[in-house]
Amino acid sequence: MRRLTGKGPVALLALLGAGVVLVAGFRPWVSGTVADAVLGGSRVLASGSEVAPGLSAVALAVAAAAVAVVAAGRVARVVALVLWVVCLGTAGVLVGRVLADPSGVLGPVAAARVGRTGTVAATATATAWPWVAALGLVLAAAALAAAVVGRRRWAAPSRRYERTDAPEGHVAGSRGERVGTAWDDLSAGRDPTDVGDERRT
């Protein structure tokens, strides 16, 4: 259980789930016929990006939130978890709307294709792709649950490249004296590699 709640498994599972949703969004989600004088009784296919607009952006946001949860500090991690929950809820509503009423979501798409506003009467069924997207959301939700369980054991981000808290930008020398760093010299317009004539002899 501890392995499944580690940073690596959580990130991989979340990215896998978001990737499944993203790929599924470009596939046909709804197939049906429209009772329209222009379209006639022809068959109409609508992709996930048409019947669930914004789903691709939400999937990318889920991936970004997962990466932030794994890489950020404690406070930012909580914010990212909240964003993760909101994105999953939004994506769930978009996918659920299509599965609950495929005819209702196809009508506006068909009307837009003939240059109309509003909707037209349609009879449609959902393909397997919205179910694939729902599976991707389940994977992302499982990763979220694992992150909530395991986050307290995760180490804080490395501070290797952060600036130290030495006063006035100085560091301790070999005898404890305050010594300016090379970064301080550069900030002041001095070349830290220039040792001067008197030090070259």
58 in a domain, yes or no? yes
How many domains are there within the chain?
A: 2
Q: What is the pLDDT, as a whole number, of residue 152?
A: 74
**Within its chain, how far is the Cα of 74 from the centroid?**
18
Asked if 157 contacts 72 with a C-beta cutoff of 8 angstroms, the reply is yes
CA atoms within 13 A on the CB side of 102: 22
Q: Find the domain containing 183 and state its range.
A: 167-200
Can you tell me which residue has the tokens 């307290």? Answer: 152
143 in a domain, yes or no? yes
Can you tell me which residue has the tokens 């939700």? Answer: 141
Q: What is the pLDDT, as a whole number, of residue 2?
A: 62
Say whether both 36 and 79 belong to one domain. yes
d(CA 174, CA 190): 23
Classified as helix, coil or strand, 171 is strand
Residue-by-residue DSSP string for 110-159? HHHHTT-SS---EEEEE-SHHHHHHHHHHHHHHHHHHHHHHGGGSPPPP-
Say whether both 95 and 189 belong to one domain. no
Say whether both 182 and 129 belong to one domain. no
Q: Is this structure's pTM higher than 0.75?
A: no
**For residue 188, which phi and psi values (nearest 5 degrees)?**
-85, 0
Say whether both 19 and 115 belong to one domain. yes
Say whether both 176 and 148 belong to one domain. no
159 in a domain, yes or no? no
Say whether both 102 and 193 belong to one domain. no
Q: How many residues does the chain have?
A: 201
Say whether both 52 and 123 belong to one domain. yes
Say whether both 45 and 144 belong to one domain. yes
Average pLDDT of span 72-91: 90
At 2-45, the pLDDT tens digits run 666 778 888 899 999 999 999 999 999 999 888 766 666 678 88
Say whether both 66 and 126 belong to one domain. yes
39 in a domain, yes or no? yes
Helices 55-71, 74-100: axis angle to 10 degrees equals: 160
**Within its chain, how far is the Cα of 145 from the centroid?**
16
Q: What is the pLDDT, as a whole number, of residue 165?
A: 52
161 in a domain, yes or no? no
Say whether both 97 and 185 belong to one domain. no
Say whether both 138 and 195 belong to one domain. no
Q: Please report, for the chain, how many H helices and E strands are present, in that order.
A: 8, 5
Say whether both 18 and 96 belong to one domain. yes
- Burial label for 99, CB within 10 Å (0-12, 13-18, 19+), is middle
Can you tell me which residue has the tokens 């003939």? Answer: 114
pLDDT band at 162; cut points 50, 70, 90: very low
pLDDT band at 141; cut points 50, 70, 90: very high
